[in-house]
Chains A and B, each alone.
Chain A
Amino acid sequence: MSMPFYVAPEQQMKDRSDFARKGISRGRAVVVLRYRDGICFVAENRSLALHKISEIYDRIGFAAVGRYNEFEQLRIAGIQQADMRGYAYDRSDVTGRMLANAYAQLLGSSFSNGTEKPFEVELVVAELGDAPAGDQIYRLTYDGSVADEENFAAMGGATELIADVVRRGIDPTAPLADAVRLAVRALGADTSPSGPRTLGPETLEVAVLDRVRPRPRKFRRLTRAQLAEVLNA
């Protein structure tokens, strides 16, 4: 009969963290930031079909980095929960906080459950308020911890550098074009030996929760043509 090796719980958690972090940092980054009329999501993503940014509900958006199949599964679970709740109660009863809590439970229990592989993802759940003061950006990490970010969140590889650029330039009262350009500049500032990169519209996925959109669903994607216009202005 063989005895399993003893692994200290601290070591076990650390190993699992390292594993998840390594997976996440391989991917391209995402920046979520507030602007004058709402919340803007900017991701480095060359694919037009495989999204990192998505609509969850009327005023709730979702962005993720890490393993595609895992965050896709979480995205669908979020949409299901939001739609189910909005149908059973009322559309106004679906909140970002509730979704962030549900995700935190799921990520946390998977992280501490020794028999499962932890999720290699990081998420942002952002909710648009009726007024700018009500805007919320929740950032969730692989272990289920939630941070209520003030004006922006950056996640993925090399986030320190990216967050630094955004922190210095952020202005929640600036128009959309300024916010997009700041995020794109930040995403290009990650560590590459040849210095900062310039990202073009064909390498980006951008969407907004737009407070001035006249329909109840505030989520809107920017097409590549619209994006080119914003970047070249």
Chain B
Amino acid sequence: MTDDLASSFFGLLSRTAPELLPAHRLSQGVPTGPAEQLSPHGTTIVAATFPHGVVMAGDRRATMGNYIAQRDIQKVYASDEFSLVGIAGAAGLAVEMVRLFRVELEHYEKIEGAPLSLDGKANRLAALIRSNLAMAMQGLAVLPLFAGWDLAGGLGRIFSYDATGGRYEETAFHSVGSGSIFARGSLKKIYRPDLDLHGCATAVVQALVDAADDDSATGGPDLMRKIYPIIMVAGPDGVHQLSDQEMTAITDEVIAGRRERPDGPAAPLV
């Protein structure tokens, strides 16, 4: 066997066209120093599991310093037919990395004739993030959240990462990005493992609204422009995105509740 990673697109690119790698392109001949202001930042991503899958939601805002770079950015993507990836951090690099990750998974599946296991996919993403370490040191870290339906185990799972490529499996729910502290606090109070898809989607929207409430970089639902969070679901039937109608219904419900109680639903004291 000549090459241990013959089915890896990342490996192929590194061998034959390294100039196409997201990090390589920037790390050559660029003076070191803070580079945060070069690319807009994506902010908050939330994921939560329910008995028949896992949902992932992202707000739609990208910021550059104190100004809003984009109001309708997409930060949650299907990485293949059974997994999702959401990006926080330097948007320019992150979008490129998601593109590379999607090809990586598809390339393996086509060459081997079978998809990678969910753990295998999570590990490949870790390798891609690790290759971006030089950029992360200059402030261009890419911190994705990965989630998917584990076909072998029959359950939804969530993985988070650090800039060095560390991979951590999360239980039940997790959030990354600037508003994640607030989103996680919110989910702690309202998440239940027995929620159905609608309940779980409502919970992550509540968490994003709480994040937008306290973090200036996270965008809440934009009622004037009808820009709502993107929610994608991975389950035994594959990946799909909640439709505009579904998102409008969930958001309207959440907003109506907040008119009565602006801080969101109250959890019992004990």
Q: CB distance B103 to A83 under 8 Å?
A: yes
Name the interface residues of A35-67: CB closer than 8 Å to any CB of B: 49, 51, 54-56
Tell me if B12 and A54 are in contact (CB < 8 A).
no
User: Contact mask A189-233 → B, CB, 8 Å, 1/0?
Assistant: 000000000000000000000000001010000000000000000
Whether the Cβ atoms of A49 and B111 lie closer than 8 Å is no
Q: Is A98 an interface residue (CB 8 A)?
A: no
Chain B CB within 8 A of A87 CB: yes
Chain A: residues with Cβ within 8 Å of the partner, total of 15
Task: Kindly supply a per-residue 1/0 record for chain B positions 1-28, scoring 1 wherever the CB is within 8 Å of any chain A CB and 0 otherwise.
Answer: 0000010010011001100100000000
B261: CB under 8 A from chain A? no
**0/1 interface trace, chain B 94-110, chain A, CB 8 Å (1 if under):** 00000110010011001
* A83 pairs with B106, CB closer than 8 A: yes
Interface residues of A in 150-186 (CB under 8 A from B): none
- Interface of B: prevailing SS: helix
Q: Which residues of B contact A217 (CB under 8 A)?
A: 81, 106
Annotate A18-45 by CB proximity to B: 1 below 8 A, 0 otherwise.
0000000000000000000000000000
- A87-B9 in contact (CB<8A): yes
- Write the nearest CB–CB distance from A170 to chain B, whole angstroms: 29
Contact: A55 with B110, CB < 8 Å? yes
Determine whether the beta carbon of B81 is less than 8 Å from that of A84: no
| Interface status of B33 (Cβ within 8 A of chain A) | no
| Known pairs A76-B111, A79-B110; A86 contacts B103 (CB<8 A) | yes
A215 to B239, CA, bound (A): 10
Nearest A residue to B114 via CB reads: A49
B268 close to chain A: CB less than 8 A: no
Q: A80-B12, A215-B81 are in contact. Are A87 and B103 (CB under 8 A)?
A: yes
For window 104-128 of B, CB contacts with A under 8 Å fall at 106-107, 110-111, 113
The chain B residue with its CB closest to the CB of A75 is B111
Interface residues on B, range: 10 to 19
Chain A residues whose CB sits within 8 angstroms of the CB of B103 once the complex forms: 83, 86-87
**Is A88 an interface position by the 8 A CB rule?**
yes
How near does chain A come to B60, taking the closest CB pair, in angstroms? 23
| CB-based contact B110/A87 at 8 Å | no
Which of chain A's residues has its CB closest to B99's CB?
A87
Task: For A56, list chain B residues within 8 Å (CB).
Answer: 110
Chain A: minimal CB distance from B108 (Å): 10
Complex: A76 Cα to B17 Cα, angstroms: 17
Q: Specify which chain A residues have a CB less than 8 angstroms from the CB of B81 in the assembled complex.
A: 215, 217
Q: Mark A99-125, 1 if CB is under 8 A from B, else 0.
A: 000000000000000000000000000
**Closest Cβ of chain A: how far from B236's Cβ, in Å?**
16
For B6, the chain A residues whose CB sits under 8 A away are: 76
The answer to whether B17 touches A88 (Cβ under 8 A) is yes
Pair A83/B20 contact, Cβ less than 8 Å: no
CB distance from B177 to the nearest CB of A (A): 26
Instruction: Determine the distance from Cα of A40 to Cα of B135 in the docked complex, in whole angstroms.
Output: 46
Q: Are B110 and A54 in contact (CB under 8 A)?
A: yes
Residue contact A51 to B12, C-beta cutoff 8 Å:
no
Which residue from chain A places its CB closest to the CB of B19 in the assembled complex? Answer: A88
Q: Which residues of A contact B107 (CB under 8 A)?
A: 79-80, 83
New contact pairs (14) apart from A80-B12, A83-B12, A88-B20, CB-CB < 8 Å:
A49-B113, A54-B110, A56-B110, A76-B6, A79-B107, A79-B110, A83-B103, A83-B106, A83-B107, A83-B110, A84-B12, A84-B17, A87-B103, A217-B106
18 pairs, CB–CB < 8 Å, chain A vs chain B: A49-B113, A54-B113, A55-B110, A76-B6, A76-B111, A79-B107, A79-B110, A79-B111, A83-B12, A83-B103, A83-B106, A84-B17, A86-B103, A87-B9, A87-B103, A88-B17, A88-B20, A215-B81
Closest 8 CB pairs of A and B: A83-B107, A79-B110, A87-B103, A55-B110, A83-B103, A83-B9, A88-B20, A76-B111
List the interface of chain A (C-beta within 8 A of B). 49, 51, 54-56, 76, 79-80, 83-84, 86-88, 215, 217
